[in-house]
Amino acid sequence: MLKVMLVDDEPFILQGLKILVDWNKEGFEIVNTASNGKEALEYLKNNEVDLIISDIQMPVMNGLELLENIQKTGVSKARFAILTGYDDFSYAQRAIKYNSMDYILKPVQKKDILALLRNVSKLEKVSKEKEDDRAKMEDAYLARNVIALIKGKYDDSNIEYVKKHMQLSGKIRYVDIELADETKESDEDDYDARVLQHQLHSTCREVYKDNENHFIFDVSYDESSYDVGFIYCDNMATRYDMSDEDFFESMIKKIEGILLKPVRMICGKKVGDISQIAKSYSSCRMLNSIKGFHNEKRVYIYEDEVQIEQKSAYLCKKSLDECIAAIEKNEKEQIEKSVEKLYEEIANVGENYNLVNMNINYLLFQLIHLATEQDDNVNQEEVIQYISENSVGGETLSRGSSQHLKNFALQYADYLMSLRKNVSRGILSNIEKDIAEHYAENISLRNLGEKYYMNSSYLGQVFRKKYNVSFKDYLTNIRINEAAKQLIMTDKKINQIAEEVGYMDCDYFIRKFIEIKGCTPSKYRKNNSHQ
How does pLDDT run along the chain (531 residues), one tens digit per residue?
999 999 999 999 999 999 999 999 999 999 999 999 999 999 999 999 999 999 988 999 999 999 999 989 999 999 999 888 766 666 666 777 777 888 888 889 999 999 999 999 999 999 988 888 888 888 889 998 999 999 888 899 999 999 999 989 889 999 999 988 654 444 445 667 778 888 999 999 999 988 999 999 878 655 557 889 999 999 999 988 999 999 999 999 999 999 999 999 999 999 999 999 999 998 888 788 777 666 678 999 988 876 544 444 567 888 888 998 998 888 999 999 999 998 888 887 765 666 777 788 778 777 777 776 666 555 656 666 656 666 655 545 566 678 888 888 888 888 777 766 655 456 777 888 888 888 888 888 878 877 877 767 767 777 777 777 888 888 999 999 999 999 988 989 999 999 999 988 888 888 889 888 888 998 898 888 766
Q: Strand pairing of 227-233 and 172-179? A: antiparallel
Angle at 428 between CA 426 and CA 429, to 5 degrees: 70
Query: What's the pLDDT at 484?
Result: 92
The upper half-sphere exposure of residue 425, i.e. CA atoms within 13 Å in the direction of its Cβ, equals: 4
Separation between Cα atoms, residue 233 and residue 249, nearest integer Å: 15
Instruction: Return all residues near 415 (Cβ < 8 A) that are at least 6 apart.
Output: 371, 383, 387, 455, 457, 458
Query: What's the pLDDT at 122?
Result: 94
Amino acid letter, residue 195: V
Query: What's the pLDDT at 59?
Result: 93
Cβ distance 59 to 38 under 8 Å?
A: no
Question: CA of 331: how far to CAs of 320, 347, 409, in Å?
Answer: 15, 24, 10
Query: What's the pLDDT at 421?
Result: 63
Separation between Cα atoms, residue 145 and residue 158, nearest integer Å: 5
Query: What's the pLDDT at 90?
Result: 67
Question: CA of 317: how far to CAs of 65, 303, 314, 513, in Å?
Answer: 84, 22, 9, 55
Query: What's the pLDDT at 156?
Result: 92
Cβ distance 344 to 430 under 8 Å?
A: no
Query: What's the pLDDT at 375?
Result: 60
